[in-house]
Amino acid sequence: MNAVLLVSIIINNYNYEHFLAKAIESALAQSYPHTEIIVVDDGSTDASRQIIARYGDRITAILQENSKQGAALNNGFAHSNGSIIIFLDADDYLYPNAVEQVVAAWQPDLAKLHYRLDVIDSEGNPRGFSYPGGGKLSQGNVAPYVISSGTYTGVPTSGNALSRQALAKVMPIPPEFYTTADDYLSVLMPLYGKVGSVETPLGAYRIHTSNQWALSEVTGDRFRRFIRHDLQRCELIQQRGRELGYAVPDDLYMRFFGRAWSRLASLRFDPKQHPVPSDTSLWLTYQGLRSLWLYSGFNWQKRIIFSVWFVWVGLAPQSLAKPMIVWLFAPQYRPKAIAQILGRLKALVNRSKPVAVSTAEDGAAS
């Protein structure tokens, strides 16, 4: 175990009265004693503030006007003292040994340590899998993967413990990232130190209709949000990476196949609302195949499986393409027979894992 480290658990909340108490109780129940719990309420209009008030001086409560998640994280960080920071979304929660496991695995050269999260539904029932889906979490010097493909295998906000020293180099989160604060931190933290990982789930990630990234349902709006999000993500990497002296490729955006399949899914799912007018199915199919075979790191069997997906979705009639899109991005909607076949295929081809999976599209990686 490391020397005594103070860990700050910063819970950001907006109108999650049904989940908030569980998040706070999970922070208070940590087996590691050297913690501080800060709850930032971002202008909730439900009963959240009454729930926060019940905990008195057991927590530090910060009540701000509605300014979005990024502002809440900035405010919480400014009031924190910990050497390690965990930003916990109010709809998620930590297991009692989470902080103890983080501190036990912590190393001085880490910018962050991430860990898996078990997926639950809105009622707290286990979904039977952890987040992210296939492959081990990225670890070590992850910066080259971020620079070369714009992504790596990571976990959403609640699955990260961040170094205060490294975090100070990227905070405060700029206003343009207030609604994508998770991705801002995910992209930048590996540029300021190594990444550690714990493969054991240390908390729960809740999928429900109010979660802006969790795919509880598949809609064209979700894909359009992914696209805008990834364009912003790549611009950030190119800007900050070059400031730090990295050679960022000009074609960064299309080096990760997840962006190609989000674009292709958006175009085929709802072509009239697709946000990139110049896109065509053939071009996106080609970009998806190119990124798979040049940059994905998959073994050849897995590349073939995903290649079939790109060709099918790109060339099949829309009525046949839509089910393939839904089954990829939302595993819970796969027919039982399809799920069994994919499970067998996954067992056969899982000998080689991807080096990079986007946090935004990880719902598709299950």
- pLDDT, one tens digit per residue, over 195-215 is 999 999 999 999 876 554 444
Cα 196 from chain centroid (whole Å): 16
CB atoms within 10 A of CB 293: 15
pLDDT category, 22, cuts 50, 70, 90?
very high
Q: Cβ distance 62 to 14 under 8 Å?
A: no
Tell me the percentage of the chain whose pLDDT exceeds 70: 86
- What domains are there in the chain, each with its CATH number? 7-206 (3.90.550.10), 241-365 (no CATH)
Secondary element (H or E) of residue 192: none
Beta pairing partners, 62? 40
pLDDT tens per residue across span 47-75: 999 999 999 999 999 999 999 999 999 99
Judged by phi (left if over 0) then psi (alpha if -120 to 50, else beta), residue 223 lies in alpha
The residue type found at 282 is L
pLDDT in tens, 275-321: 999 999 999 999 999 999 998 888 888 899 889 989 999 999 988 88
Beta bridge partners of residue 112, listed in sequence order: 162, 195
Q: pTM of the prediction?
A: 0.82
pLDDT in tens, 110-126: 999 999 999 999 899 99
